[in-house]
Amino acid sequence: MMKRLFVSLGALALASCATMPMAQGPATQMSQPKFPDAADSREVLFWNDETRSARFRAMEDYFAGIEVAHADEVRELPKGEPLGAATRSKVDGYLEAMNAAGIMVLQDGKVRYEAYRLGFGPEGRWTSFSVAKSFTSTLLGAAVKDGAIASLDDPVTKYVPALSGTAYDGVTVKQVATMTSGVAWNEDYTDPDSDVAKFLNIAPVPGESQVVTYARTLKRESPAGEKWVYKTLETGLLGLLVENATGEKLAEYAKHKIVDPAGFAGDMFWMTDLSGGNIGGCCVSLSLSDYARMGQFVLEGGQPSVPQGWFDEAGSAQVEFGGGYGYGYQWWTFPGGNYGAQGIFGQYITIVPDRNLVVAVVSNYPTATGEGLTKARRELWQTLIDATKD
């Protein structure tokens, strides 16, 4: 297991307008933006509060993507025993401090608390930012179960031959999944010249995925497997790998591997890049209840989509940061065996197996990340864990 550490904040892949056609099944359709000139992928990190609040719930109006129909059989989320008044008050205080738009708390698959703010409501969708990374990871597991990916120890070039001759030569699928490729990368959300701010604006080479085009510009800084650096591009590569292996767009594959078995009640929107592929590292949009359904699906093992025990591995620390924190296969890991999906500006699905607990939160943080916001989030989780003890 990887022990050395290089910590980088966050979670994001920016979105771009895709124009390439794609094959469409009856449950998917290409979505073109209503206001394509009103948003630029380079500007998402620097939108003001009002713009974020409006656009986070309508990203499909500004960016191209793929719409996926809700499940034919919706998973019901019955009401459970409400949290106590004192706990609800504390939770509401954290939500205000975090500028959260909504929270849903499930225990034993039942709703113990649900609240909405910032004009958001149960029927709306909110963007996920890097919560999408954990969706892509789950589709990786599905591709392994389907036999489309033989082994996580395979070289990524087996599934993405266009990476041959780049810094990703000799890197395994598992090393990309754990972000330990050794390839240099800058994920500074405050720097408009960082890799994360630029990679989805590069003009793709004709016939080539945009993420591969950008990967060609990168260099290696350490041997594969020895250093962890958070890189949104690598989830893009992981998504491309799954698309190549399965022959389906991520959104299409997600329809029958996540949306249907998890019983999503609403339609899903997943952004596409300039070369027409779904952005593996960002920008699924769902209702709050469907983020919670995703968490419940994962908590219960993700069957029948992924191998038995997949989340025991994917949701455990393949890279250790210290203090019980770490990183798995595109899942963040926390003390006590807990793990979750995280996106900048405050999007979360947190899974607490010992309590059979799922917490889904969507937010409009005043900044992409921040120590005070992280502290409030952790206090929120602890409050809910304490309140749901047997």
Which range, 2-6, 37-41, 46-50, 98-102, is most confident?
98-102
Please indicate, yes or no, if residue 242 is contained in any of the structural domains.
yes
CA 318 – CA 76 distance, rounded (Å): 34
Helix/strand/coil for 389 = coil
- Evaluate if residue 288 carries a pLDDT over 80: yes
- Residue 205: which domain range? 28-85+122-330
> Which tokens in the block code for residue 96?
């205000």
Question: Tens digit of pLDDT for each residue in 376-387?
Answer: 999 999 999 999
Integer angstrom CA distances of residue 316 from 116, 204, 313: 31, 35, 5
Structure confidence by residue, pLDDT tens digits, 242-251: 999 999 999 9
In 15-64 the beta strands, taken as DSSP E runs, fall at 28-31
Find out whether 202 and 213 touch, Cβ atoms under 8 Å: yes
Q: Is the pLDDT of residue 14 over 60?
A: no
**CATH number, residue 199:** 3.40.710.10
Has residue 43 been placed in a domain? yes
In a domain, residue 322? The reply is: yes
Region of 263 (left: φ > 0; alpha: ψ -120 to 50; beta: rest) is left
Q: Does 283 reside within a domain?
A: yes
Q: What whole-number distance in Å separates Cα of residue 334 and Cα of residue 331?
A: 10
DSSP track, 314-347: HTS-SEEEETTEEE-SS-EEEGGGEEEEEETTTE
Side chain identity at residue 87, one-letter code: T
Residue 291 lies in a domain: yes
Confidence of residue 16 (pLDDT cuts 50, 70, 90): very low
Average the pLDDT over each of 128-142, 178-192, 288-302, 335-349 and give the range with the smallest value. Answer: 178-192
Residue type, 382: Q
Residue range 194-210, pLDDT digits in tens: 998 888 889 999 999 99
For residue 20, is pLDDT > 50? no
Instruction: Report percent pLDDT > 70 for the chain.
Output: 91
- Answer whether residue 90 is part of any domain: no
187 band by pLDDT with thresholds 50, 70 and 90? very high
This prediction has a pTM of 0.91
Asked whether residue 58 is assigned to any structural domain, the reply reads yes
Q: Is 93 left (phi over 0), alpha (psi -120 to 50) or beta?
A: alpha
Q: How confident is the model at residue 156 (pLDDT cuts 50, 70, 90)?
A: very high
Tens of pLDDT, residues 262-282: 999 999 999 999 999 999 999
Number of domain units in the chain: 1
**H/E segment holding residue 116:** strand 110-116
